[in-house]
Amino acid sequence: MTETIKPPKLLTKAEKKKQKQLGKSKSDLRKRARITAQEMINGADASAALITAGYTKETAIHHTETILTNPTFQKTFKEILEKAGITDEFIAEKIRSLADAKETKFFAHKGEIRDQRDVEALDIQADMVKFAAKVKGHVVERSSVEVPGIEEILDQIALKRQQQIK
């Protein structure tokens, strides 16, 4: 039996462009990942953080998920979080504690607090259960897809239908 040696996969222009946009080298990609992570820690949304890290606005907006799920980005993010003490165990414990969250309700009469009670913080608990289910892969968020020129296409279809009716 003879083995067939497969030629190396040649990248298409689009794949080469995408690879180039992610970063010219692993070092460049790690640097961009660190900048992105720091920006997100400081409160920036993912697109803004990617723009600060040197990505074009178009790339940051349209390829956010691709960039953030890149293995080098993921590894860099994990290293940053581990250094900050945000381990998997820490995250699991926080989710667990928030899933059992309580809040204090105060009851007043004529401006004076008459009573207070600790009750279940249902909003926080529901959010944590939903988050945990999402992390475990039980919840998939829907996303909308924008099709350029869809309105024009729909208008043309409607026009042709009207012409057929006449």
Distance CA 112, CA 115 (A): 9
- For the chain, percent of residues with pLDDT exceeding 90: 21
Q: By the 8 A CB rule, do 103 and 119 touch?
A: yes
For the entire predicted model, the pTM comes to 0.49
Is 23 exposed, middle or buried, given 0-12, 13-18 or 19+ CB atoms closer than 10 A?
buried
Residue boundaries of the structural domains of the chain: 12-84, 87-139
DSSP, collapsed to helix, strand or coil, labels residue 109 as strand
Query: What stretches of the chain adopt beta strand conformation (E)?
Result: 102-109, 112-120
Band (pLDDT 50/70/90 cuts) for residue 12 is low
**Two tokens, residue 37:** 């992570």
Contact present, 23 and 13 (Cβ < 8 Å): no
Phi, psi of 33 (to 5 degrees): -65, -40
- In angstroms, the CA 78 to CA 72 distance is 10
Query: Which tens digits make up the pLDDT trace of 91-150?
Result: 889 988 999 999 999 999 999 999 999 999 999 989 888 888 887 777 766 665 566 677
Each residue's pLDDT tens digit, 45-69: 999 999 999 988 998 888 888 888 8
